[in-house]
Amino acid sequence: MLPLYLLTAAKNKPVLIELKTGETYQGDLVNLDPWMNLTLSNVIHTNTGADEFSKETEVYIRGMHIKYLRIPDEIMDYAKEQNLLNMEQRNKNVKRRGGDRNQSGGGGRDHRRGGRGGNRRFQGDRHYNNNHHYQQRDNE
Amino acid sequence: MSDLKEFMGKKVHVITADARFFEGVLQGYDNSTNIILQDCIERILYSEEDVDEENQEIPLGLYIIRGGEVACVGEIDPAKYATIDWSTLKASTLKTTKNPL
């Protein structure tokens, strides 16, 4: 599992961030991007010496300054579950596409070409044929 | 590029640029060596000189460590690991990660 995927699963959950400077931020993860830049809400900020604290309603943290993140243990299971659901969904889609290709035999290539946005318009009849195969299979 | 793939799902030790020593199950990594450690603990080991200090083991939970901070990831051999008495182990201070030119 990718670290960013896990982190995405931790949205709206409490997280603890330590920056390279040693400062820590504790708060609810609002959003993140592919660079691990984060926004947190309801934040408690602790300085490097851990002797000064301050409260912030919202902060934005640049990913490159992060040393590590601590996230709730249960996020791991949650992320795995989500991953599994996504995989199942994808498998379903692949199966559907694969089945279609088998049915139409040599026409499989046509279907693939038809699947691309631009060409689709000019291959309306072929596309229709593919749908026809679909119906046939369903009737069998 | 060598691969952390072989360490996936296994217990590993991680040494970070700020000389911390982590232990946990490697659950994921990416191209920039950001790593996920499950059931992560931090070990603090003292050297021979620190006579009145006791080695510590701090449970941390689920951790994501930024790739830039990771200095070293090592797979744990369970058989050897079992023979280590962490409470009495002495360790010398790690050298800096910065190379003087």
Percentage of residues of chain B with pLDDT beyond 90? 68
- CA-based torsion, A41, A47, A48, A51: positive or negative: negative
Task: Determine contact, residues A81/A87, Cβ cutoff 8 Å.
Answer: no
A131 burial (CB, 10 Å; 0-12 / 13-18 / 19+) is exposed
Please tell me the distance in Å from A68's CA to the nearest CA on chain B: 4
pLDDT (mean) for B82-94:
89
Structural domain includes residue B93:
no
Which 3 state secondary structure label does DSSP give A51?
coil
Which residues on A lie below 8 Å from B65 (Cβ)?
Answer: 67-68
Contacts of B57 (CB under 8 A, 6+ apart): B41, B42, B43, B44, B86
Q: Annotate B23-44 with DSSP letters as a single string.
A: EEEEEEE-TT--EEEEEEEEEE
Please tell me the distance in Å from B56's CA to the nearest CA on chain A: 19
Q: Which of B7, B36, B60 to mutate to test the interface with A (most CBs of A within 10 A)?
A: B36
Task: Determine contact, residues A74/A6, Cβ cutoff 8 Å.
Answer: no
Which residue segment(s) compose the domain that B75 sits in? Answer: 4-82
Cβ of residue A68 closer than 8 Å to a chain B Cβ: yes
| CATH classification of the domain holding B10 | 2.30.30.100
Structural domain includes residue B21:
yes
CA angle A51, A54, A57 (to 5 degrees): 155
Asked if the Cβ–Cβ distance from A4 to B16 is below 8 Å, we say no
Please tell me the distance in Å from A119's CA to the nearest CA on chain B: 36
Domain count of the fold of chain B:
1
pLDDT value, residue A43:
96
The CB density around residue A128, as the number of other CB atoms within 10 Å, is 10
Q: Among partner residues A2, A36, A75, which is closest to B62 by beta-carbon distance? A: A75
Residue whose token pair is 């603990």? B41
Cβ of residue A67 closer than 8 Å to a chain B Cβ: yes
Structural domain includes residue B100:
no
Residues of chain A with pLDDT under 50: 105-108, 112, 114-115, 120-121, 123-124, 126-128, 132-134, 140
Q: What is the DSSP letter of A104?
A: H
pLDDT value, residue B1:
55
pLDDT value, residue B92:
87
Which 3 state secondary structure label does DSSP give A97?
helix
A6 burial (CB, 10 Å; 0-12 / 13-18 / 19+) is buried
Q: How far apart are CA B22 and CA B15, in angstroms?
A: 6
Which residues on A lie below 8 Å from B34 (Cβ)?
Answer: 3-4, 36
> What is the tens place of the pLDDT at every residue in A74-112?
999 999 998 899 999 999 888 887 755 555 544 445 554
CATH number, span A3-72 = 2.30.30.100
Asked if the Cβ–Cβ distance from A67 to B35 is below 8 Å, we say no
Residue whose token pair is 């000019």? A122
In sequence order, the β-bridge partners of residue A19 are A66
Extents of the domains making up chain A: 3-72, 77-139
> What is the tens place of the pLDDT at every residue in B1-46?
578 999 999 999 999 998 899 999 999 999 999 999 999 999 999 9
In sequence order, the β-bridge partners of residue A55 are A44
Please tell me the distance in Å from A18's CA to the nearest CA on chain B: 10
pLDDT value, residue A137:
52
Q: Dihedral, CA atoms, A126, A129, A133, A139, nearest 10 degrees?
A: 160
